Amino acid sequence: MIWVAATLIAATAQTVRNAAQAGLTREIGTIGATAVRFLFGFPFAVLALLLAAAWWPMPRPDLTVIGWAALGAMAQIAATAFMLLTMRDKGFGVATALMKTEPVTLAVIGAIVLAEPLGPARLGVIALATLGVVLASGATWGRAGWGAVTTGILSGALFGLSSIGFRGALLALSDGGYVIRAITVLAVTLGLQATAMLAWLLLRDRSSLRGIASQWRLSVGAGALGAFASLFWFMGFALTPAANVRTLALVEVVLAQVLSGRVFRQTIRPAQLAGMALILAGVGWLLAVTVR
């Protein structure tokens, strides 16, 4: 049951973090808002690693671990950028729903790359929950902006690839329990991401860097929430296949729609409520087939 609790904590923190990043996008642009979660999350990851070192022996990441982490890190940067683009064009709740087609990607890639076949029951769970995502998105598909729909689905696919990278890194890091391995991979991942984003901003987009500095209070909060959420995602990945974690995480769609209604004043239609009900049914089915 630990992975269930970790996933629910991560999904809640990520929903709040995404809302903060959506606000930052209007102030400092897509690239700047993408960089915030990594630049301001990395110090919190280092602090967590230092505190953990007082309790547990530190694992030693090798090149295999770093390679998997780099795959996850770069895919997550791209996924975050596409997510923020979708939020700008289609709204917060819709963007969250579209990118949550991620479990489909995970089901395919995880089976091929990590040899984690899901079986008929879990595939049924993913199909049911994904149908719920389509309905909960609230998009008017006949006249929707297909560019935004495409970026949302691409964001989900890249988030799926990033989850495979993080799961691979955690499995390759054989020393220590799931908590210290999660903290170690988190620090490595955010270090890679912060370095890549800082280099890009210094070379290509210094105006966004100045914008980040001007919005540092909100950026610190988004970074802290991002690191906190990622730590619990990684704990989940260390304990069960990534597809299980990300399917359960579809409860984030429900949280996002509630937040959209209360904070962003977006209307939730009956079809979206039906979609959220399907998501919750899929999550219940997942728990029934995985938790013994």
For every residue of 148-177, DSSP letters joined together read HHHHHHHHHHHHHHHHHHHHHHHHH--SS-
Q: How far is CA 190 from CA 69, 151, 154, 225, 236, in A?
A: 9, 24, 22, 13, 17
Q: How far is CA 216 from CA 15, 21, 31, 33, 191, in A?
A: 20, 12, 15, 11, 19
Query: What was the pLDDT predicted at 143?
Result: 46
C-alpha dihedral, 147 to 149 to 151 to 152, nearest 10°: 160
The size of the chain, in residues, is 292
Identify the residue with better confidence: 175 or 133: 175
Q: Crossing angle of helices 216-239/42-53, nearest 10°? A: 50
Query: What was the pLDDT predicted at 63?
Result: 95
Q: Give tens-digit pLDDT for 138-182.
A: 655 454 456 667 787 788 889 888 999 999 999 999 788 999 999
In the numeric block, which tokens belong to residue 81? 């950028």
Q: Is the distance from CB of 112 to CB of 167 less than 8 angstroms?
A: no
Tally Cβ neighbours within 10 Å of residue 205: 17
Q: Give tens-digit pLDDT for 70-104.
A: 999 999 888 877 877 777 666 655 666 667 667 77
In the chain, the amino acid numbered 278 is L
Query: What was the pLDDT predicted at 109?
Result: 72
Identify the residue with better confidence: 95 or 183: 183
Query: What was the pLDDT predicted at 275?
Result: 78
Q: Residue range 11-38: average pLDDT?
A: 80
Whole-number Å distance between alpha carbons of 193 and 196: 5
Whole-number Å distance between alpha carbons of 69 and 174: 14
The values of phi and psi at residue 205, to 5°, are -150, 65
Q: Which of 141, 242, 232, 229 is nearest to 178 (CA)?
A: 232
In the numeric block, which tokens belong to residue 232? 């619990």
pTM: 0.81
Whole-number Å distance between alpha carbons of 20 and 30: 13
Query: What was the pLDDT predicted at 190?
Result: 96
Q: Give tens-digit pLDDT for 242-292.
A: 878 887 887 777 766 666 655 455 566 777 778 778 877 877 777 777 655
Whole-number Å distance between alpha carbons of 156 and 79: 7
Q: How far is CA 156 from CA 102, 149, 175, 176, 225, in A?
A: 4, 11, 31, 31, 20
Query: What was the pLDDT predicted at 149?
Result: 72
- Compute the mean pLDDT over every residue in the chain, rounded to the nearest whole number: 81
Whole-number Å distance between alpha carbons of 272 and 266: 12
Query: What was the pLDDT predicted at 93?
Result: 57
